[in-house]
Structure 1
C-alpha cells in the first residue's frame, strides 16, 4: 500500500510541475510558495472537517514540534529554493537536480533511522537514477560543432540542491512520528508550520508589496490553483501516506519516478516528441521501480 501511495504521489507531482512552471512566469518563488501553502492548508483543513478528523488530537507535544520542524524545512525553505531553481533552470534541468532527493533520503534514513534497502533496492534505485539522467541529458545530435551552449545558472543549481536536501531532511525526521498520527492531520501541521514560517519572510522582505500584488486574483491563478491541488494537496497527502506505510528509502525511490511521469506527460499533454532516449529512460525506470516494490 505504501508503494502504491508513493507511485501515485510521483504522478500527481509530475502534473503539478508542468503547471507550476507556467505559474512561475507570473509569481515570484516566495509569492508562489505562500499561495500554494495557504490553499493547501485550507483544502486539507476542509477535508479534515468533512472526515471528522480532530485538529487537536491527544498526542505528545514532541510530535507537534517534530512535524512543525518538518514543515519549516520541507515547505518554507525547500519550496522557496525549489521554485527559484525552476525559474532559473527550467523543468528539464530541475529534473536532473531532483536526482539529489533520492540519495539524500537514503543517506538521512541510514543515519537517522538505521534503514537498509537491500541489494535489489540498491540496484533498483540505481536504475531509477540512471533513467532520470538518461532522459534529462542533452541529445547527442543537439551538440553541433561550433555551437557554444550557455552553461546552467549557478544560483539555480545551488537552489535546487538545497531544496532537495531540505525536503529529504524534513520528511525523514517526521518518519517515526507518522506511525502515531493520522496522515491528514500530520500533513495539515506540516503545511501550517510552513505557512507560519513564510509570514516573517514575506513581511521582512524588501519586495513584500510586490508579493501582495502577485497574490491578487489574476489569470495566473488558473495555472497555480490546479497545480496546488495536484501537487500540494493530493500529492502531498499521498507522499506522507507513502512514507507512513513503507520505509522512507523505498518511498523515496518510487517518488523519484515523478521525473519519468513528467517525460510521459510532456509527450501526451505538451505534444513533445517521445525520443528513443526518453523511451529508454522510461524502460529503465519501470525496471528499477519493479525491483524496489518487490524487494524483500
Structure 2
C-alpha cells in the first residue's frame, strides 16, 4: 500500500507540474509558495473537519516538534534554496540536481532510521536515477560541451541544500508518522512551513510586490488546480507513502515523477517522445519494479 501511495504521489506531482506549465508564470516564486501553502492548508483543514480529525490530538510533544521541524526544513528552507537554484541554473541542470533527493533520503534514512535496502533494491534505485539522468540531460548538450557552461556555483550549492533539506524533513517526519494521522501530520507540516515564510517575507526588500501578487486575480484560477494536485493530493500521498513503507523505497518511487512528466508532456503538451525518453521510461519502470518487489 505504501508503494502505491508513493507512485500515486509521483503521478499527481507530475500532473501538477504540467498544469503549472500550462498556467504560465503568474506569480514570483515566493508569492507562489505562499499561495500554494495557504490553499493546501485550507483544503487539508476542511478535509479534517469533514472527516472529524482533531486539530489538536493527544500527541506527544515529540511528535509535534518533529513535524514542525519537518515543515521548517522541508517547506520553508528547502523552497528558499530551491527557488534560488532555479534563478541561477537552467532547467536541465536543475533536473540533474534534483536527482540528489533519492541518495539524500537513502543516507538520512540509514543514519537516522537504520533502514537498509537489499541488493535488488539498490539495483532498482540505481536504474531510476539513471533513467532520470538519461531523460533530463540532452545528449546534444553533453557532446557539444554546452551542458553546465557558465552555471553559477551558488545555484548548484543552493540546489544541493534544497534536496538535503527536503530529504531531512521527510525522514525526521517518518520517525513519528506511525503515531500520527496522515492529514493531521500534513497540516502541521504545511502550517509550520507557512509560518516559517512569514519573517522571510517581512524582511524581504520586495515584500510589497508579493502582497500585490497575492491579490485575487485570474492567476488564482490558473494556479488553483495545480495547487490541488501538487500541494494537497500529492503532499498527503507523499506522507502516506512514507508512513506505510520504508523511507528508502518511497523515495525511489517518488522520483518517478520525472518519468511521469515525460509521459504527460507527450500526451498533453504534444512534446515529442524521443528514443532517449523511451529509454528513460524503460529504465525507470524496471527500477521501480525491482524496488517494489525487493
Q: Considering the TM-score relative to the shorter chain, is it more than 0.5?
A: yes
User: What SS does structure 1 have at the residue aligned with 2:155?
Assistant: helix
Q: Is the 8 A contact 1:6 1:238 kept in 2?
A: yes
What pairs up with 1:31-50 in 2 under 5 angstroms?
Answer: 31-50=31-50
Matched, 1:174 2:170: no
Unaligned runs of 5+ residues in structure 2 are: none
Supply the RMSD in Å over aligned alpha carbons. 2.0
Q: Which residue of 2 aligns with 1:227?
A: 226
Q: Which residue of 2 aligns with 1:55?
A: 55
Distance between the aligned counterparts of 1:291 and 1:213, measured in 2? 49
1:147-185 deviation per Cα after TM superposition (whole angstroms, max 9, x unaligned): 898544444333322211110000001111100110000
Runs of 4+ in 1 over 4 A off after TM superposition: 21-24, 141-145, 147-150
Distance between the aligned counterparts of 1:70 and 1:264, measured in 2? 31
Q: Is the 8 A contact 2:141 2:147 kept in 1?
A: no
Q: Is the 8 A contact 1:74 1:166 kept in 2?
A: yes
Q: Is the 8 A contact 2:93 2:148 kept in 1?
A: no
What pairs up with 1:94-113 in 2 under 5 angstroms?
Answer: 94-113=94-113
Q: Which moved more, 1:222-231 or 1:267-276?
A: 222-231
Q: Which residue of 2 aligns with 1:66?
A: 66
Displacement of 1:86:
3.7
Distance between the aligned counterparts of 1:21 and 1:158, measured in 2? 25
Do the aligned partners of residues 112 and 23 (structure 1) sit closer, same or farther apart at CA in structure 2, a change above 3 Å counting? Answer: farther
Displacement of 1:200:
0.9
Distance between the aligned counterparts of 2:221 and 2:153, measured in 1? 31
Q: Which residue of 2 aligns with 1:243?
A: 242
Do the aligned partners of residues 148 and 137 (structure 1) sit closer, same or farther apart at CA in structure 2, a change above 3 Å counting? Answer: closer
- Would you say how many aligned residue pairs link Structure 1 and Structure 2? 294
Displacement of 1:144:
5.9
Matched, 1:254 2:226: no
User: What SS does structure 1 have at the residue aligned with 2:100?
Assistant: helix
Unaligned runs of 5+ residues in structure 1 are: none
Do the aligned partners of residues 141 and 256 (structure 1) sit closer, same or farther apart at CA in structure 2, a change above 3 Å counting? Answer: closer
Matched, 1:82 2:70: no
Do the aligned partners of residues 148 and 157 (structure 1) sit closer, same or farther apart at CA in structure 2, a change above 3 Å counting? Answer: closer
Do the aligned partners of residues 75 and 209 (structure 1) sit closer, same or farther apart at CA in structure 2, a change above 3 Å counting? Answer: same
User: What SS does structure 2 have at the residue aligned with 1:244?
Assistant: helix
Do the aligned partners of residues 24 and 60 (structure 1) sit closer, same or farther apart at CA in structure 2, a change above 3 Å counting? Answer: farther
